[in-house]
Amino acid sequence: MKTCLLYGLGITLAGALLVFVEFFLGYHSDPEKFQTGQVFGTIGGLLITIVGLVYGMREVRERTADRALSYGRGVGIGALITIFSGIFGAVFYLIYGLVINPEFHELVYQAQIQAMEAKGLKASQIESMEGLMRFFTGPVWFAFANLFGAPLLGTLLSLIIALFLKRAPAANVPPPV
């Protein structure tokens, strides 16, 4: 469990570093750079999660006496890592959105409006959705989405990663008593 906690924290810290790089490069304050920042953040976050899951599962596998890892245990380890990552990430997104960069969510809101205008929605239609859009682009929603989205995505990734990292116990090692 300690390994899962540490790798979940590591994924969150690496993700936070990515967010700060985007912040300092202006991707979280300049509407012109926002779309590029979203792509960069999504791909970077996915890679960080995959690397964290691979290393976390490998560490658990290598620490067992027979250096084995069943498929189910691998998926469980990955799910637990991303549950911790989701918890830590939710706290980070609350702090980031409420304290560090409260203007970020206004930028997200404006980007959503621009996307709707580009699709041809009328101003009255956009205005009628303002309350919902403000909620879904706010820091509380980002934290909530991370709290549940990270474990969901992480478990799906773990289903794939565990296929490659599973290892049967060695034939000469007696089963645990």
What residue ranges do the domains of the chain occupy? 2-165
Dump pLDDT digits (tens) for 138-152: 889 999 999 999 999
Prediction pTM value: 0.88
Mean pLDDT within 25-32 = 88
Comparing 63-72, 117-126, 153-162, 168-177, the range with the smallest average pLDDT is: 168-177
Instruction: Give the 3-state DSSP-derived string for 99-115, with helices as H, strands as E and coil as C.
Output: HHCCCHHHHHHHHHHHH
Q: CA 145 → CA 54, 55, 91, 140, 141, distances in Å? A: 23, 25, 12, 9, 6
Higher per-residue confidence, 170 vs 67: 67
Q: Is the pLDDT of residue 174 over 80?
A: no
Question: Are the CB atoms for 87 and 78 separated by under 8 Å?
Answer: no
Mean pLDDT within 39-54 = 97
Mean pLDDT within 28-56 = 94
pLDDT for the residue numbered 94: 95
Dump pLDDT digits (tens) for 66-107: 889 999 999 999 999 999 999 999 999 999 999 999 998 888
Mean pLDDT of the chain: 92
